[in-house]
Amino acid sequence: MGRLFWKFFFFIMVAQLTTTFTVGFMFSLENRARNQRSNDLDLSPPAAFLIKSSVATLQYGGTDALRKLILSGERRRIYAVDENQHELLGRDVPQQLIKEARSVLNDHPDINVVGQVTASDGHTYLMFMSSPTGSGLGLLLHEDRPPRPFLPVMPMTISTIASFIFALLLAWYFSQPIRQLKSAFADAASGNLSSRLEPRMGKRNDELSDLGRDFDGMTDKLRAAMDSQRRLLHDVSHELRSPIARMQASIGLARLQPEKTAATIERIEREGVRMDRLVGELLTLSRLEAGVTGTMEEPIRMEELLDDIINDARFEAEANDRHVDGCARCNVIIKGGAELLHRAIENVVRNAIKQTATGTTIAINTQVDRDKQRLLISVIDHGPGVPEEEVQLIFEPFFRSSRTQKNSHGYGLGLTIARRIIEAHGGTIKAFNRLERGLCVDILLPYDALDVADEADQHPENHNILHPERQNA
């Protein structure tokens, strides 16, 4: 049993015992009040009348007549005690009540609620009535009387035992899942992220079981992050190994064939540029994942930014017998990093240029949703597309689709960097295959304001309906 168990047990037990003794004390007070009420004299006018009647009955009818009178109706509360403290009917009479009756007879003879008669049998009887509810004057007459001590010992003992068992079970119920959490955290700290808490919680449906599920979710994410890190290290080492091997081979060739030194140096220079580009992309990705994005408060006019990207894309595409069709009609302003956002969208467009078939056209569409203040940028190519099981993986580092990896000259980081940048601007990016050949990449960005009020009326094409492929995505 851990320390938390004993803390739970101690405080629950203290609460239960406090409740038990409080209830017992209240029972004691109630019993004391009940005893006080039963020991009070009846000082009411009806009591005085009944005592006078009883005195007359005893004087003229004797003890037998008084017995019959007492056994009838309310006269059962009349007591007749002789000088030897014997009650006429053999009932037990509290001594304090007898003392009070004598005190009233001697000190307050005008009240007439106590009578004293010498009967024909020679005994002198003190006659009085007990009050079932008590009276203020009666309490004043015996306020110095010590209370009768009483505690419900047996009920309190049973309650204490029940409280002990209940506190034990309740402390175990609360401390057991916490001990399991402690064990799971210890496993996670030692590197074992496969430990699952939800099956151990059983059928619990409370905050502790929610905490167990959250812990499982946390370990799943940690395991995925560690796996991703391992894959990233493996992929980086793999990508670096090839150019380093070629550089070493070139150096060896230069030593064996000095006449080819110029060509070898050119080869080494190309490999150095490739490695520099790879390291640069890795540094960019690392900064984005660490949240180091620089200032993100720069107002970006998206129409100007997209115009620059489209013009550059046209120049690059035409050099490779491909075409770009797009016209940025989106009068919105986005707060963020202009260079980062330019790079993200350009990476998507350049990837489409590489994948689209020769002689085909890449479409760049924009659409403004004023109700939700969002800008949609769609980049559509006519390439081989991506297998459905790989669509969600193309934004992962170093991933290359099985349909494109043979003719790809990049490192598989462009779309990953684009996703990180778009997410840093509060947007989303996703891809899906078109019904026809090709891939569509949608970039959804929240905007802060319109560049010019109601400029959309000048550009009705801003409100294009979704193309059929997106309706089925």
Q: pLDDT digit string (tens) for 41-50?
A: 778 888 888 8
CA distance 309 to 271: 28
Q: How does DSSP assign 420-444, residue by residue?
A: HHHHHTT-EEEEEE-SSSSEEEEEE
H/E segment holding residue 267: helix 261-289
CA distance 324 to 321: 10
Whole-number pLDDT of residue 3: 61
For the cut 80, the answer to whether the pLDDT of residue 20 exceeds it is no
Whole-number pLDDT of residue 5: 63
Amino acid at site 228: S
By residue count, the chain amounts to: 473
Of 148-162, 200-214, 329-343, least confident by mean pLDDT is 148-162
For the cut 80, the answer to whether the pLDDT of residue 397 exceeds it is no
The whole-number average pLDDT for the span 126-131 is: 85
Q: What percent of the chain has pLDDT over 70?
A: 80
Check residues 303 and 413 and name the one with the higher pLDDT. 303
The vertex-112 CA angle with 107 and 117, nearest 5°, equals 90
For the cut 90, the answer to whether the pLDDT of residue 246 exceeds it is no
Q: What percent of the chain has pLDDT over 90?
A: 15
Check residues 337 and 207 and name the one with the higher pLDDT. 337
For the cut 90, the answer to whether the pLDDT of residue 241 exceeds it is no
Whole-number pLDDT of residue 94: 82
pLDDT band at residue 213 under the 50/70/90 scheme: confident
The whole-number average pLDDT for the span 161-188 is: 77
Of 3-17, 43-57, 135-149, 270-284, least confident by mean pLDDT is 135-149
CA distance 325 to 378: 12
For the cut 60, the answer to whether the pLDDT of residue 236 exceeds it is yes
Whole-number pLDDT of residue 134: 44
Asked if 219 and 195 count as a contact pair (C-beta separation under 8 A), the reply is yes
Whole-number pLDDT of residue 309: 92
Whole-number pLDDT of residue 252: 86
Asked if 88 and 80 count as a contact pair (C-beta separation under 8 A), the reply is yes
CA distance 80 to 448: 101
Of 30-39, 87-96, 157-166, least confident by mean pLDDT is 30-39
Mean pLDDT (the chain) is: 78
Whole-number pLDDT of residue 405: 45
Asked if 122 and 107 count as a contact pair (C-beta separation under 8 A), the reply is no
Of 241-255, 256-270, 368-382, 442-456, least confident by mean pLDDT is 442-456
For the cut 50, the answer to whether the pLDDT of residue 147 exceeds it is no
Residues with Cβ within 8 Å of residue 35, at least 6 apart in sequence: 147, 148, 150
Check residues 404 and 117 and name the one with the higher pLDDT. 117
H/E segment holding residue 339: helix 338-355
pLDDT band at residue 353 under the 50/70/90 scheme: very high
Of 103-107, 187-191, 277-281, 413-417, least confident by mean pLDDT is 277-281
Whole-number pLDDT of residue 449: 77
The model's pLDDT over 403-445, given as tens digits with 9 standing for 90+, comes to: 664 455 556 778 888 888 899 899 999 999 988 889 999 999 9
CA distance 422 to 337: 10
The vertex-197 CA angle with 194 and 203, nearest 5°, equals 145
CA distance 419 to 414: 9
pLDDT band at residue 39 under the 50/70/90 scheme: low
For residue 146, what are the CA distances in angstroms to 26, 77, 101? Answer: 18, 24, 17
The model's pLDDT over 78-116, given as tens digits with 9 standing for 90+, comes to: 889 998 888 888 888 888 888 888 888 888 878 788 888
Whole-number pLDDT of residue 410: 58
